[in-house]
Amino acid sequence: MTGTLPRTASVTRPAGDAKLHAPAAVRNRDAICDMLCTFAPQNGRALEIASGTGEHIVAFAAALPNLHWQPTEPDTPRRASIDAYVAEAGLQNVSPAIALDATAVGWHKTVPQNDLIFLANLLHLIPAASVRKLITEAALAMAPGGTLVLYGPFARDGVLTSEGDVQFDSALRAADPSIGYKATNDLTCWIGDAGLINVKVVEMPANNLSFIARKP
């Protein structure tokens, strides 16, 4: 992700101590949490890619207490924010945030095998080749039977279906022509190419989708 992205791509503001607040993360948190309670394994290891402020993972870890959660985030102030939210919530099932560039080749070797890998709101901000690397690495970082959940905005079979999506996608492409919304049919192929089984695509509020995939 570069510094030239439109401001709306990732809005955060200070929220006291090291905490940052992302209004979008709080808006979509409950719907994502409900979806995870339905499709995620109920115990084992969970890794979140691009945890952002940490406002998501504290809700997920409270709702799914028998999963042990590992937040990851490349940005240092955001890692401090994640750890601050976890400390404030007193959660025992969340490890300190670690730095992870999910598009780097080989990162799967640096983490234990996971029963769940979750990612929200990154795929539209990186190029297609980086998305493919991310999915390949995530598949390798999962235990057999593990679940991958990819949440965010997508172009349905390549078509943008709301005015807001058209505007956001075009602002992203104006900032960097290599990024923007990914097509659902491409995502399905890339998930399959990584050796995962496409289980379901779940409709989410605000025209977002969750891709659920499983490692055989």
Sites of contact with ligand SAM (CB under 6 A): 1, 9-10, 22, 25, 49-50, 52, 56, 73-75, 78, 100-103, 120-122
The secondary structure of 106-138 as a DSSP string is TGGGGS--EEEEEEES-GGGS-HHHHHHHHHHH
Closest distance to ligand SAM from the beta carbon of 141 (Å): 13
Nearer to ligand SAM, 174 or 197 (CB): 174
Closest distance to ligand SAM from the beta carbon of 69 (Å): 13
- Per DSSP, the three-state class of 171 is helix
The neighbouring-strand residues paired with 197 are: 214
Check: CB of residue 205 under 8 Å from CB of residue 29.
no
Residues in the chain: 216
Nearer to ligand SAM, 8 or 185 (CB): 8
Nearer to ligand SAM, 55 or 115 (CB): 55
The neighbouring-strand residues paired with 213 are: 148, 198
Residue number of the CB atom closest to ligand SAM: 52
Closest distance to ligand SAM from the beta carbon of 66 (Å): 22
Compute CA 168 distance to the chain's CA centroid, rounded to the nearest angstrom.
18
Closest distance to ligand SAM from the beta carbon of 110 (Å): 13
Nearer to ligand SAM, 45 or 124 (CB): 124
Cα atoms in the 13 Å half-sphere on the side-chain side of 201: 15
Nearer to ligand SAM, 23 or 145 (CB): 23
The rounded distance, in Å, linking the Cα atoms of 177 and 170 is: 9
The rounded distance, in Å, linking the Cα atoms of 144 and 214 is: 8
